[in-house]
Structure 1
Amino acid sequence: DYGWLAALDVPAVLMERRPRPGSALHAMDSVCSDHAYGVHLAVQHLVGLGHRRIVFATRDDSPTARTLRSACARIADAHPLVEEWAWALCAPEAGQDGPYTAQETAELAALLRKVGATAAVLHGDVDALMLVQRLADNGVRVPGDCSVVAYDDVVAGLGTTPLTAVAPPKAEVGRAAAELLLQRLGAPRGGGGPVRRTELLPTLSVRGSTRAWAGVIE
């Protein structure tokens, strides 16, 4: 789509996409959620509850999914209280680029046992709800044996156990992009000020799927 977008003769604003540096779209306005901050919120919440070993299960089939995967690795590696972590696909069909290692396609319950993890961050809501059910089928209780944070928060609160979730500000991203586009449309051609990169921060809603790990004072 880069060539088509670059050839437009009307103002345009990208939403939830960051143009590649040096590409034809590098000078195009964009409005995005700061997904790295969303991962930070999830990890800080879990670490604050005493969890030190975390599994991340995300999709890997879109720019947002790959941003999340990269952020999970970077934040977990750098956090002084995360002792061990691992990443896996939330479902075999959730990745396109492969090939993946056996661990990266492992069943979540098996990976939790291998890592000794007591918490998981799961992307997105529907996959998270299905994974929680699969954990239950394998004798892993949420939050008794494993605390879970979902990433998306569209239907995360509708499960039998409502899931703690990170919520990207989707409506606000759309609103900010529309306002910027209207500003561009109302300005003289070539005017309207410098190109903008706008990032909005996600929020965390704490529900029933996370709790303090044994031995940690709440």
Structure 2
Amino acid sequence: MAIAERGARPARVKDVARLAGVSVGTVSNVLNGRRSVGEEVRERVEAAIEELGFVRNATGRALRTGSFPMVGVSVLDLTNPFFMEAAAGMDRRLRQDGFVMALSSTHSDAGEEARTLRTFAGQGVRGVVVSPTDTDLAVAHEIAARGVPVVLFDSPAAPDDMSSILADDRAGAAMAVEHLIGLGHRRILFLNGPEHQRQSRSRLAGVHDGIARSGEEISLSVEELGSFTAMEGRAGVRRLLVGCGLAAPMGTDGISVPARPLTVEGLPEELPTAIFCANDLIAFGAMTALRDAGIRIPEDVSLVGFDDIEMAAQMSVPLTTIAQPTDELGWVAADMLLTEPVTVRHETLMPTLVRRRSTAAPRG
């Protein structure tokens, strides 16, 4: 590669065009990833860029177009691996076209979401991907009306002015319950997330779908947790175990110890034979609480999660879970913003059941 001498004028688009024997417009099309350029011409332009050591002036381009090579991404919770794995898919797609990602969390707070979206729009980003806190999309509509493309991520809303993508939570939850019923489970606990979040409502509806389709008499208990976290999952199962007399009060080290030696015959009827958790983090916490009380997985209680985050397969008992196509969700969300001309699209991807060692036939 030809390296410019110290103090020499940096290569410009005109220089690239002259060396490649094409117009400035063609160089611009190559830089912007447009598909109208033939392969042979694209290769000549890329070779000229390499030879001249051309570096695109993003600031100058932004001043001319009013848009910076940046995409804003707003998710509910940066500590949730589902959103981080999806963001990795977005990042790969964005970098393919020379964009960078500004990632922010709303902490499931509608006011924080509004401030974040307006900040992104004010910074002249190319577009915004947002996982909405609820069904009120007023601010998303507001910035879309200002000409900022918006993609709703993990959202079933299908407005006319912005694209959306999600996995079918309801179908995934039905798969999980049907799997447990197929193994013979008839006493099932569903540890759900907060009712105000759309994912919680969709997954609960899926649980009822799966039971209805089975035609079996199922004893279903539902507990709404405060958040989609391992700590909440552990606390929820601890409450169950203490109520069943299977766990003593917490010790000074924060560990729940068995109240008495356990055998399959000694487990009470009120202890469900299976627990379905609204995400994998809740399942990890549930797994810890069961282990602390001396209850085996899956011999005593089967356990199912949702999301199939990377750690699900690495647990001491690998977790049966509903796999969301997380990387694909992220990739497609970013692609919706970058594909030209920008058109409104609404896509729903299907999850799949991944069976591992945490589920088996019911005890006894």
Fold match (TM-score > 0.5): yes
Q: Deviations over 1:109-152 (max 9, x none)?
A: 34795655211111322221121121233342210111111112
Q: CA deviation at 1:72?
A: 2.2
What is the DSSP-based 3-state SS (H/G/I as helix, E as strand, rest coil) of the residue aligned with 1:88? strand
TM-score (norm 2): 0.48
Q: CA–CA distance in 1 between the matches of 2:161 and 2:210?
A: 29
Letter in 2 for 1:169: P
Equivalent position of 1:182 in the other structure = 338
Runs of 4+ in 1 over 3 A off after TM superposition: 108-116
Does the 8 Å contact 2:152/2:164 carry over to 1?
yes
**Which amino acid letter does the alignment assign opposite residue 178 of structure 1?**
A
- The alignment's C-alpha RMSD in Å is 2.8
Shift of 1:74: 4.0
Amino acid at match of 2:315: G
Q: CA deviation at 1:41?
A: 1.6
How many pairs were matched up? 194
Percent identical: 31
The answer to whether structure 1 residue 158 and structure 2 residue 314 are counterparts is yes
- Alignment match, 1:59: 193
Matched with 1:36 is: 170
CA separation of 1:196/1:172 partners in 2, compared to 1, >3 Å: closer, same or farther? same
- List runs of 5+ in structure 2 lacking aligned partners: 1-113, 115-136, 229-235, 245-266
Task: Determine if contact 2:280/2:312 at 8 Å carries over to the other structure.
Answer: yes
CA distance in structure 2 between the aligned counterparts of 1:29 and 1:54, rounded to whole angstroms: 37
- Measure the CA separation in 1 of the matches of 2:268 and 2:192: 18
Cα distance change of structure 1 residues 106 and 76 upon mapping to structure 2, 3 Å threshold: farther
3-state SS in 1 of match to 2:202: helix
8 Å contact kept, 1:119–1:146:
yes
Gap runs ≥5 in structure 1: 96-103
Instruction: Give CA deviations for 1:18-57 in whole Å, capped at 9, x if unaligned.
Output: 23x8xxx465321001011111221121122111221110
**Structure 1 residue 64, shift from structure 2 partner:** 1.8
Q: TM-score, normalised by structure 1?
A: 0.76
Match of 1:99 in 2: none
Higher helix share: 2
C-alpha contact (below 8 Å) 2:181/2:214 kept by paired residues: no
Question: What does residue range 106-121 of structure 1 map to in structure 2 within 5 Å?
Answer: 107-109=239-241, 110=243, 115=270, 117-121=272-276
Q: Distance in 2 between matches of 1:88 and 1:16?
A: 23
Which protein is bigger by CA-based radius of gyration? 2
Q: Which has the higher contact order (CA 8 A, sep 6+)?
A: 1
Q: Matched residue of 1:107: which SS?
A: helix
Amino acid at match of 1:199: T
| 1:87 aligned residue | 222
| Alpha carbons of structure 1 residues 105 and 163: separation in structure 2 relative to 1, 3 Å | closer
Q: Does 1:132 align with 2:281?
A: no
**Aligned residue for 1:100?**
none
